[in-house]
A = this chain, B = another copy of it.
């Protein structure tokens, strides 16, 4: 492929911004522009050279775009956008509502097949890279158990729950994998662990003037569902510290497969992500899968695909010969 792959970004939040940055790190890709439902003049892009267009004008770009990277949300944007746009374009999304993947796949597959286009759904890290590692784990060690741990990561829902407590001026909550649970899994104990047993919660809270620290701590650690069932730590900090130390969106986690290849012989596979920015990493994965989508489309394939259907080599800008010589 000597021509650069021409990419359009649909939607410009944290994910769209991350894709814009990531494309700049990949010399074989070219950003045609950002397509937004907002007034293009009101969208402030990271790179002033990035063109911004109205989403309504997207169809006129059909001949100028190889792949659209869809950066909307899984709740209401992607269930409509991915099938709609897959009729006209090669598309990639990071749809992440696990329970609705089969339904999303079916609607996208119908649309992409009808349009003769390629659509890769649910790229990202979970679903995505973690899913691939769950699959490899059970295919290679059929006699074993798989564990997924999330964190250390910012949880929006739990941060919001803290902010709703009267007397709290600001707060963030991180979900952490429980060290104790990880050690038991790594040791090959194959324990039965609920999501609760696998995770701890850490809160950083800024109080309003005059708020009662010990009463608020009690409100937090006893909050049903959100904090009560977990090992929860609460730190009270200043507004300055919150702004300085907790503005990022870190995340990550582990997938561990522990099994026996014969009686008494234990084997452990562990895949771990430590992400400085959750949206930027997801964007980086989306961009690699956009390259794969362009290649599948160039081969004349069509329909919906997931990361399970994509050969690793398609993600790399290197040729198969180069990959075999340099990375195998």
Tell me if A101 counts as interface (CB < 8 A to partner B). yes
| CB-based nearest B residue for A143 | B25
Most chain B Cβ neighbours within 10 Å, of A26, A268, A283, A327: A327
Q: B-facing mask of A244-283, CB < 8 A → 1, else 0?
A: 0000100000000000111001111111111111001101
Tell me if A320 counts as interface (CB < 8 A to partner B). yes
- Closest Cβ–Cβ distance, residue A199 to chain B (whole Å): 19
* CB-CB contacts below 8 Å: A89-127 with B: 98, 101-102, 105, 122, 127
Q: What residues of chain B lie closer than 8 Å to A86, measured between beta carbons? A: none
Q: What residues of chain B lie closer than 8 Å to A310, measured between beta carbons? A: 311-312
Q: When the two chains form their complex, are residues A311 and B311 in contact, meaning their CB atoms are under 8 A apart?
A: yes
| CB-based nearest B residue for A309 | B311
Q: How far is the CA of A101 from the CA of B328 in the complex (A)?
A: 8
Q: What residues of chain B lie closer than 8 Å to A98, measured between beta carbons? A: 328
Q: How far is the CA of A310 from the CA of B122 in the complex (A)?
A: 19
Tell me if A165 counts as interface (CB < 8 A to partner B). no
For chain A, give the interface size range.
Answer: 35 or more
Q: When the two chains form their complex, are residues B309 and A280 in contact, meaning their CB atoms are under 8 A apart?
A: no
Q: B-facing mask of A125-169, CB < 8 A → 1, else 0?
A: 001010110111011111100000000000000000000000000
Q: What residues of chain B lie closer than 8 Å to A283, measured between beta carbons? A: 261
Which of B136, B142, B261, B320 is A308 in contact with, Cβ under 8 Å?
B320
Q: When the two chains form their complex, are residues A266 and B270 in contact, meaning their CB atoms are under 8 A apart?
A: no
Tell me if A306 counts as interface (CB < 8 A to partner B). yes
Q: When the two chains form their complex, are residues B308 and A139 in contact, meaning their CB atoms are under 8 A apart?
A: no
Which of B135, B260, B328 is A131 in contact with, Cβ under 8 Å?
B328
Which of B265, B267, B284 is A140 in contact with, Cβ under 8 Å?
B284
Q: When the two chains form their complex, are residues A276 and B261 in contact, meaning their CB atoms are under 8 A apart?
A: yes
Q: When the two chains form their complex, are residues A276 and B284 in contact, meaning their CB atoms are under 8 A apart?
A: no
Q: What residues of chain B lie closer than 8 Å to A122, measured between beta carbons? A: 328
Which of B284, B315, B325 is A102 in contact with, Cβ under 8 Å?
B325
Q: How far is the CA of A25 from the CA of B102 in the complex (A)?
A: 29
Tell me if A240 counts as interface (CB < 8 A to partner B). no
Q: When the two chains form their complex, are residues B306 and A281 in contact, meaning their CB atoms are under 8 A apart?
A: no
Q: Which 8 A-B pairs have the closest CB atoms?
A: A308-B313, A261-B280, A139-B315, A270-B272, A265-B276, A268-B274, A139-B288, A139-B316
Of the A-B pairs whose beta carbons lie under 8 Å apart in the complex, a sample of 8, sorted by A's number, is: A18-B262, A25-B261, A102-B321, A135-B312, A139-B291, A140-B315, A269-B272, A309-B311
Extra 7 A-B pairs, beta carbons < 8 Å, given A102-B321, A267-B280: A21-B262, A127-B328, A265-B277, A267-B273, A269-B272, A306-B323, A308-B313
